A and B are shown apart, each in its own frame.
Chain A
Amino acid sequence: MYACASGPSARGAARPNDGDAVSRDAAGASGATDGMDHAATGHDGHGAHADPAAWRMPPMDMSMPMIPELMGLDPRTDPFLPGAGIDPATLPAAAFREVADLQDGDTLKLEAGLVRRTINGRTFVMYGFNGQYPGPLIRAPRDATIHVAFHNATELPTAIHWHGVRLENRFDGVPGVTQEPVPPGGDFHYEVHFRDAGIYWYHPHHREDITQDLGLYGNMMVTSPDPAYFNPANAEEVVVLDDLLIDEAGIIPYGRGRATHALMGRFGNVLLMNGEADYRLAAKRGDVVRFFLTNVSNTRVFNLSFDGGVTKVIGSDVGLYEREALVESVVIAPAERYIVEVLYDEPGTHTITNRIQAIDHYLGVFRTEVDTLGTVTVDAAETAESHRAAFESLRVNEDVSAEIDAFREHFDRPVDHELELGVDIGSLPLPLLQMMAVDTFYYHPVEWNDVMPMMNYLSTGADVRWFVRDVATGAENMDIAWSFELGDVVRLRIRNQPASMHPMHHPMHLHGQRFLVLERDGVRNENFVWKDTAVIPLGSVVDLLVEMSNPGDWMLHCHISEHLETGMKMVFRVEPG
């Protein structure tokens, strides 16, 4: 599909659907054998002979003709790739993550540094925590407090945010709010208290469009003291979903001074599970495998299918659902986590796939895109211990419902605060603005693919400003001044209406607190789970019920990395009371 890139995810054929009269070959990832005249559509400026560290046209679908006025344009910032001037051979080869089993009071040394990563047989200079990919899996019991001695061995200032954890505010890891950025060569000591059982992740909160995309992320598994917290399972897999944008010359550079891909975020063309383009798992017939899924990509929303298995969702960001539910696939936005169990009953090799309906705005059609992220080989031999009965009984977590009962009196409270989401677009190249005006025919509620790669790549923070706007005051982004008291329960409405030049969905994340997704478009949720990140589709109005349980200054922002970098953030205060 991205015909100018090499090193494919195993992408299946684009198939016409819903009566769209378009039939296309399955374009090989190299594009060399597709029989198309690349020059005729302007696609002869891609990375085959480019300087890997220089700007160049990003890989894109070959059927999209190039706009002549856009060819030769570069983003309005200098290009950046890690490790400039360093011989990659001198860097350590990244190793698969290790598990750090920690108890209350333990200290973990964590270092962010440069590594060599091999993906699809090609070697890239990237980042890693402790030379690993993903970063070390921190496992600790609920109520424990661990210490993290962090050292920044990268060339960029950074900090670590402990996503989803309701920890002490001064350790939240947000430069400019809770700390100064840790400079290259600098150190910072974090104390991380685990108040809630669940699956969390840690990542930078400064230029995360670069550093997170290049590998600075890892999970935290906080275990419950209740031995029956989870159903019995034969195996557990902690899996990180990600993508990476590469072409024949290497990783497409990032913006040194400001983020590129500011319009839609950076979509990668190689999809990864736990940093691998070909994730593999072995299971026995009848095995129940519990997957802890985290989406660490900059912008991609995945629709993940565990083919050959029966899938049940049991938990999300900050705990378990009131009721387990069978699902066909798992829709997971950036920064979200989902806990699913899969019963593998059929011997054979089964795929884990991402299936989306991509949009081709030029032709005005949808096309199915199927990417295989990994395989699960199910042995014909029966599992040693069957947990089928537990799997098939859809558990009702009465303790979860009981805890939520304390908040039900607030379910019908009036809206306390309302945010609008939008974008201001400045001096993009005129052909780009004209194309965007044409695109106003239709905006998809969720952008599943990069529908305009060249336009997206050229947009930077110099041209694009995403905002959250307080409807009551008109204040935007860091000018919004909300203050709450500890213990407040707040109904927050987030409205994502299409009245802007390039509206799109946004995964909105609140630091330090937890919330329930109360209503979507006026319809009450029927099965609650505590969350810290919720996707707001275009055209939707979503009401969150936030428990202000943690004092301090906390950020609320879109978790599309490039949107965060171009301003889509605010800080609210919870007074200790």
Chain B
Amino acid sequence: MRTENATKHTIVRSLPAVLAAFATILAAAPAAAASAHGSTACPATPPDPLFIRLVPTANANGASGEVDLRFAQSPFGVTLTRDGNHDFALEMRVHGLELPAGAVAVAWAATPDLGTVVRLGELSTDGTLEGRIALNKFLVFLTAETNPEVERWSGPVLLRGSSPSGRMHSMAGHGPFESEPCAVIGF
């Protein structure tokens, strides 16, 4: 099936559902204007576009982590690749991670379809790592490896998170009026 046609049909089929949802929401919507000064019509704190929370898998119960993104150093106020991808320096911090004997934690970033994988490096003994990533949407995850130089992960996934941009889901296919950020469950 051609992806392009499938996409068109999906949009057209879902449009009545979207409009119906609209009508429901409009009927129930509060009349107050949205304002940054305490209105009920908008989220209290929109998600930070430069922060990733790492969520543990069953292989790392009790561990946690976070990743701060900032634009990599450059002569410009914003750092991009030639193709326009945001070029981020990242700083990872992991807490409470207990590794199996002989294993090291290696950090990776990958496109959601795992088509592009970037090895970010080995987590230091103090649970930190600095790296660089220039993908639009990406997953960040740590795996337990016996070989610290491995070029593609083979061990179990320990913690995972997704880029803030990964929250940008299709309104047509996801449920346009859900306000729960999927980041709380890792994606």
Q: Which A residues are closer than 8 A to B by beta carbons?
A: 17-25, 36, 40-41, 63, 65, 67-69, 301, 303, 305, 313, 316, 321, 325, 327-333, 336, 338, 355-357, 359, 361-366, 368-369, 422-428, 430-431, 433-434, 436-438, 440-446, 448, 498-501, 503, 505, 507, 517, 520-523, 525-527, 529, 534-540, 542
Name the CB-closest residue of A to B68.
Answer: A521
> B1-30 toward A: CB 8 Å interface, digit per residue (1/0)?
011100110011001001100100110010
CB pair B26 A434 closer than 8 Å = yes
Interface residues of B (CB under 8 A from A): 2-4, 7-8, 11-12, 15, 18-19, 22, 25-26, 29, 33-37, 41-43, 45-51, 68, 70-71, 73-86, 89, 111-116, 135-138, 164-172, 174, 176-177, 179, 181
B73-A526 in contact (CB<8A): yes
Alpha-carbon gap, A22 to B91, bound state (A): 31
Can you report 19 A-B residue pairs in the complex whose CB atoms are below 8 A from each other? A20-B136, A21-B3, A24-B4, A301-B78, A329-B81, A331-B78, A331-B80, A363-B7, A366-B137, A425-B35, A430-B26, A431-B26, A438-B177, A440-B47, A441-B167, A501-B34, A521-B50, A521-B71, A529-B75
Name the CB-closest residue of A to B14: A65
Assuming the A-B contacts A18-B112, A445-B49, A445-B50, are A331 and B79 also in contact, with contact meaning beta carbons closer than 8 angstroms in the complex?
yes
A508: nearest chain-B partner, CB-CB: B77
Give chain A residues whose Cβ lies under 8 Å from the Cβ of B71.
445, 520-521, 537, 540
Residues of A within 8 Å of B26, CB to CB, are: 69, 430-431, 434
Are A328 and B35 neighbours in the complex by a CB distance under 8 Å? no
Contacting residues, chain A, for B169 (C-beta < 8 A): 364, 441
* A441 to B164 Cα, complex, angstroms: 9
Q: Which residues of A contact B138 (CB under 8 A)?
A: 18
Query: A18-B137, A364-B171, A424-B37 given as contacts; is B80 within 8 A of A329 (CB)?
Result: yes
Q: How far is the CB of B105 from chain A (nearest CB, A)?
A: 25
Name the distance in Å between A477's Cβ and chain B's nearest Cβ. 14
A23 touches B76 (CB 8 A): no
Q: Are the C-beta atoms of B168 and A357 separated by less than 8 Å?
A: no
Once bound together, how far apart are the Cα atoms of A36 and B48, in whole Å?
37
Instruction: Decide: A498 near B137, CB < 8 A? Known: A331-B77, A361-B171.
Output: no
Residue from A423, A431, A444 in contact with B22 in the complex, judged by beta carbons closer than 8 Å: A431
Contacts of B135 in A (CB 8 A): 18
Contact partners of B167 in chain A: CB under 8 A: 441-442
Report the bound CA distance from A359 to B137 in whole Å: 12
- Contacts A423-B36, A436-B34, A443-B49; A355 near B172 (Cβ below 8 A): no
Q: Report yes or no: A440 in contact with B42, Cβ–Cβ below 8 A.
A: yes
Using Cβ atoms and an 8 Å threshold, which residues of chain A touch B171? 361-364, 438
Q: Do B137 and A20 touch across chains, with their CB atoms under 8 A apart?
A: yes
A539 & B50 in contact (Cβ 8 Å cutoff)? yes
- When distances are taken between beta carbons in the complex, the residues of chain A under 8 Å from B76 are 313, 327, 330-332, 338
Q: Are A537 and B41 in contact (CB under 8 A)?
A: no
Q: How far is the CA of A58 from the CA of B70 in the complex (A)?
A: 34
Whole-angstrom CA separation of A7 from B170 in the bound complex: 31
A18-B137, A539-B49 given; A362·B170 CB < 8 A: yes
Which residues of the other chain, A, contact B179 by a CB distance below 8 angstroms? 437-438, 440
Decide if A364 touches B181 in the complex (CB within 8 Å). Answer: no
Choose from B68, B84, B170 the contact partner of A368 (Cβ within 8 Å): B84
Contact A445:B86 (CB < 8 A) given known A23-B4, A25-B4 = yes
Cross-interface CB contact of A363 among B25, B75, B172, cutoff 8 Å:
B172
A425 to B35 Cα, complex, angstroms:
5
Q: How far apart are the CA atoms of A313 and B77 in the complex, in Å?
A: 13
A368 lies within 8 A of B47 (CB): no
Contact residues in A for B18 (Cβ distance below 8 Å): 65
In the assembled complex, the CB of A458 is this many whole angstroms from the nearest CB of chain B, namely 15
A540 to B49 alpha-carbon distance, docked (Å): 9
Supply 5 further A-B pairs (C-beta < 8 A) apart from A63-B11, A538-B49: A303-B80, A362-B170, A425-B36, A445-B86, A500-B36
Nearest opposing residue in chain A for B169, CB measure? A364
Cross-chain contact B15 with A65 (CB below 8 angstroms): yes
**A63 CA / B114 CA spacing, docked (Å):** 27
- Selected from A19, A357, A428, the residue in CB contact (under 8 A) with B113 is A19
Chain A residue numbers with a CB within 8 Å of B114 are 19
| Complex Cα spacing A535 to B53, Å | 26
Contacts of A535 in B (CB 8 A): 77-78
Interface contact A357-B47, CB-CB below 8 Å: no
Query: Within the complex, which residue of A65, A499, A536 is in contact with B45, where a contact is CB–CB below 8 Å?
Result: A499
Residues from chain A with a CB closer than 8 A to the CB of B25 are: 434
Nearest first, the 6 A-B pairs at minimum CB distance are: A19-B113, A535-B77, A521-B70, A328-B82, A364-B170, A356-B84
The residue of chain B having its C-beta at the shortest distance from the C-beta of A366 within the complex is: B136
A336 to chain B, nearest CB (A): 8
Q: A17-B136, A305-B82, A523-B73 are in contact. Are A440 and B46 (CB under 8 A)?
A: yes
The answer to whether B75 touches A327 (Cβ under 8 A) is yes
Tell me the nearest residue of chain A to B174, going by C-beta.
A364
The answer on a CB contact under 8 Å between B137 and A355 is no
Contact A425 B34 (CB under 8 A): yes
Q: Whose C-beta in chain A lies nearest to the C-beta of B110?
A: A19
- Within 8 Å by CB of B75, from A25, A325, A422, A501, lies A325
Contacts of A359 in B (CB 8 A): 168
Give, as a whole number of angstroms, the nearest-CB distance from B52 to chain A: 12
Contacts of B45 in A (CB 8 A): 498-499
Expressed in whole angstroms, the Cα–Cα distance for A23 and B8 within the complex equals: 10
Residues of B within 8 Å of A542, CB to CB, are 77
Measured between beta carbons, the chain A residues less than 8 angstroms from B22 are: 67, 69, 431, 434
Q: Which residues of A contact B112 (CB under 8 A)?
A: 18-19
Residues in A with CB closer than 8 Å to B168 are 359, 361, 364-365, 441-442
Nearest Cβ on chain A to B35's Cβ, whole angstroms: 6
Q: Determine if A437 and B172 form an interchain contact, defined as CB atoms under 8 angstroms apart.
A: no
**A442 vs B52: C-alpha distance when bound (angstroms):** 12
Is there contact, CB below 8 Å, between B34 and A437?
yes
B11 x A446 contact (CB < 8 A): no
Q: Is the CB of B4 within 8 A of A501?
A: no
A505 to B78 alpha-carbon distance, docked (Å): 10
Measured between beta carbons, the chain A residues less than 8 angstroms from B41 are: 433, 437
**A520 to B21 alpha-carbon distance, docked (Å):** 42
- Chain B residues with CB under 8 A of A521: 50, 68, 70-71
Q: Find chain B residues with CB under 8 A from A526 CB.
A: 73
* CB–CB A362/B172 < 8 A: yes
- B33 near A433 with CB under 8 A, answer yes
Closest to A444 in B: B49
Known A357-B85, A366-B137, A539-B50; judge A446-B111 contact (CB<8 A). Answer: no
Q: Report the nearest B residue to A507, measured CB to CB.
A: B77
> Taking the nearest CB of chain B, how far is it from the CB of A359, in angstroms?
7
What's the minimum C-beta distance from B90 to chain A, rounded to whole angstroms? 12
Q: Quick one: which of B35, B112, B113 has the most chain A CB within 10 A?
A: B35
User: Contact partner of A329 among B12, B82, B111, CB < 8 A?
Assistant: B82
